[in-house]
Structures are given as C-alpha cells and as structure tokens.
C-alpha cells in the first residue's frame, strides 16, 4: 500500500502570485472597457440631446409654416436664408441664421436664438415650391455639434405643406 505524500497539498507562493497577477490584469482590462463604454454612452446621450434641440427648433418652424398664410424669403422670393411667415392674425415671425453670443451660428425666431450654445448651425436654407399656390416650403439645416473637443456633423431636411384654410 502506498502512503499519501502530505508535503504537496497546497499552492506554492509563486503559483499564488501568478494567479493573482493574471486576475489583476484581466480585471484592469475589463474595467477600462467599462469606463470607455460609459464615456461613449455619455457622448451619445449628449449628441442625442443636442440633435433633439435642433429638432425642436425645426418643429417650431414647421408649426409656424403650417399655420402661416403668406411667406416671404430673402434674398430672393423662392430660395433664401431667411423666411418671414405671416399667420392668419397678421402676426409675423422671422426665422434666420444668426450669430449667437458665443460666436456660433444659431437658428433665430424674431431675434431670439432657438438652438443650444453647443450647436453651431452653418447652413439654414428655405425654398418655396411654386405650384401655383406657393403652399410648400423646404427647410435644410446643417451644422456641427461640439462636445469635449469632438465634433459631429449633422444635416436635417424637411418639406412642409401649408394647411388648407
């Protein structure tokens, strides 16, 4: 009968140090991945919020154009970068691209900036589609979003039909 050797029942110090080192390396790699994923998620949330801000400005323009009865575009009557909308009560709203106090472009309504300071609007174009009634308006907005020294470009475009009165 063989006797059990009771001298080799545990781990050696070197085996423990190697296993702890490997575990530490894996834990560091996984935690760095989670931190990077968290930062990317935060950036995506901020970009989404800023795009929602631009969409809100577009929604205000869409509503005013749908409810308007007369449109005037500058610098020419069918294609311009400023639109004046007259509603049924003869109130006028003017939408255009202007410089905000921080030097970035913003969409303004009657001189008030509608977009966030982190959004830089570079292009705001209006186009009237003349099918005899001038009841369709196209709007194009382009710009950049800046967050933590990174920029994302965006482009939005919509066509709006006037409600029948």
Q: What is the mean pLDDT of each run of 10 residues along the chain (165 residues)?
A: 64 90 96 93 87 90 86 73 88 88 86 88 86 75 85 88 70
pLDDT of residue 35: 94
Each domain of the chain, given as residue ranges in start order, spans: 13-161
pLDDT of residue 71: 82
CA distance 158 to 140: 7
- Say which residue the tokens 């639109």 belong to: 83
- Say which residue the tokens 């008030």 belong to: 112
Considering the entire predicted model, what is its pTM?
0.71
pLDDT of residue 134: 59
CA distance 94 to 157: 19
pLDDT of residue 20: 95
Half-sphere exposure of 160 (CA within 13 A, CB side): 24
């Amino acid at each position: 009968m063989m006797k059990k050797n009771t001298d080799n029942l545990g781990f050696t110090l070197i085996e423990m140090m190697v296993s702890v080192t490997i575990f530490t390396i894996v834990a560091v790699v996984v935690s760095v991945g989670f931190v990077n994923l968290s930062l990317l998620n935060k950036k995506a949330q901020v970009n989404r919020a800023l795009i929602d801000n631009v969409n809100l400005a577009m929604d205000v323009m869409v509503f005013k154009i749908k409810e308007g009865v007369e449109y005037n575009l500058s610098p020419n009557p069918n294609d311009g970068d400023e639109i004046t909308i007259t509603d049924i009560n003869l109130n006028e709203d003017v939408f255009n691209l202007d410089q905000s106090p921080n030097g970035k472009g913003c969409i303004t309504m009657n001189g008030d900036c509608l977009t966030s300071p982190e959004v830089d609007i570079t292009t705001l174009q209006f186009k009237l589609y003349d099918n005899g009634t001038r009841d369709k308006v196209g709007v194009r907005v382009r710009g950049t979003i800046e967050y933590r020294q990174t920029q994302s470009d965006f482009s939005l475009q919509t066509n709006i039909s006037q409600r029948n009165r």
